[in-house]
Amino acid sequence: MKKSGILNADISRVLSYMGHTDTIAVGDCGLPVPEETERIDLALVKGMPSFMDVLKAVSADMKIEKIVLAEEIKEKNPEVLNEIQSLSATFETGFKTEFVSHEELKKRTKSCKAVIRTGETTPYANIILQSACLF
């Protein structure tokens, strides 16, 4: 039995085979997942698990060099944006942040190794995490 880190077998598997510059997304319960992208559905009920709870767990188990957010989060969900920025500040190098339109973010999920669906119901609580090199 695994002792620490991500316990969800699907998330753990995807993180384990990711290489430098590969991407994974964490999204709210409304983010569409392309047919060609693996869906890891954690949503139980509205709000559970939260976007930030899942993001914190994944970011603790993954070296991230860049994040991609929807430009719309700045106006429509500044609380979650502030939480993401605070989380980034806890890492020694922080995360380089790229803002794109929500439509562009959705298009980019096609190239993600997986999209993790949360129970989050606040707008634009979606992020793409780009993997850094461990050495």
> Which tens digit of pLDDT belongs to each residue from 93-131?
778 999 999 999 999 999 999 999 999 999 999 999 999
pLDDT band at 11 (very low <50, low <70, confident <90, very high): very high
DSSP letter, residue 94: -
Sheet (strand 38-41) strand order = 38-41, 114-117, 23-27, 127-131, 64-70, 96-100
Query: Tell me, what's the pLDDT at 84?
Result: 96
Other Cβ atoms within 10 Å of 100 Cβ, number: 16
Q: What is the pLDDT of residues 40-85, one digit of tens each?
A: 999 999 999 999 999 999 999 999 999 999 999 999 999 999 999 9
Distance CA 127, CA 105 (A): 8
Long-range contacts of the stretch 86-94 (C-beta < 8 A, 24+): 87/52, 87/55, 87/56, 87/59, 91/59, 91/64, 93/65
| Residues of the binding site | 28, 102, 124-126
* Residue-range domain boundaries for the chain: 9-131
Q: Does pLDDT of 1 surpass 80?
A: no
Q: Which residues are catalytic?
A: 20
Other Cβ atoms closer than 10 A to 77: 22
Mean pLDDT within 84-90: 92
What's the pLDDT at 91? Answer: 83
> How far lies 40's CA from each of 29, 67, 73, 88, 112, in Å?
11, 19, 23, 23, 12
> Which residues does the annotation place in the binding site for substrate?
28, 102, 124-126
Can you give the pLDDT at residue 26? 98
The domain 9-131 is placed in CATH, from the list 3.40.1010.10, 3.40.1650.10, 3.40.720.10, 3.10.105.10, at 3.40.1650.10
